[in-house]
Amino acid sequence: MKARTLASVAVAAWVVLVTSACGPEKSTEDADPKPSPPAASSTPSTPSTPPSKPSITPSATPTGDQPAPRTTEAAIERYEEFLHAVGREDIDTVCEVAGPAAEQAEDQGFGPCTATFRITFQMISPTQKKALRTATVDPTRVVELAPGKVEMPTESVKSSATFGEDELGSSTLEYLKNDWYITD
């Protein structure tokens, strides 16, 4: 059985939160708010368009102008970036790197990455978060599954805190659209 990744822990946390909520779920759409009178304006009003769902799919190029190298070393750097972001609770970076895995979970009915990872952050102890901010990956423990696809086993993460397989889990990174992303 494959170990759970932080992304899958986030999804599991979301499921627990939703299924353990007391009472019926209420939506802001169900509310019957009283409309506010429009504010006076000297400019003509323009029809508004509903905001589109933000995409968490990989961008065409990584941060910066150059594509990331398609090497195991670059995958390790990207995973370390993710680990450090989890330690800092940097939701934007976490959801950027884990975008493909988070999008799959969302397509299966789970909440958006930003919601599920905020729950995950609460499940990680302060000591573990501090350790993740400087965690490194032992390249000798990284497994190349195929060209452009690597596995970061839990035991490859080196930090001042201990993480069990059920807390951190293994992560698969794939080279997509010029950078490395967590896909599982």
| Segment 3-47, tens digit of pLDDT | 444 544 443 443 333 223 323 333 333 333 344 444 444 444 444
pLDDT of res. 159: 96
Residue 168 — pLDDT band, cuts 50, 70, 90? confident
> Is residue 116 within 8 Å of 18, Cβ to Cβ?
no
Distance (Å, rounded) from C-alpha 117 to C-alpha 123?
A: 10
- Which residue did the predictor score with more confidence, 58 or 1? 58
- Which residue did the predictor score with more confidence, 40 or 83? 83
- Which residue did the predictor score with more confidence, 93 or 57? 93
> Is residue 117 within 8 Å of 94, Cβ to Cβ?
yes
Q: Above pLDDT 90, what percent of the chain?
A: 52
Residue in the block written with tokens 């302060």: 126
Distance (Å, rounded) from C-alpha 20 to C-alpha 31?
A: 22
Based on C-alpha coordinates, what's the Rg of the chain?
A: 20
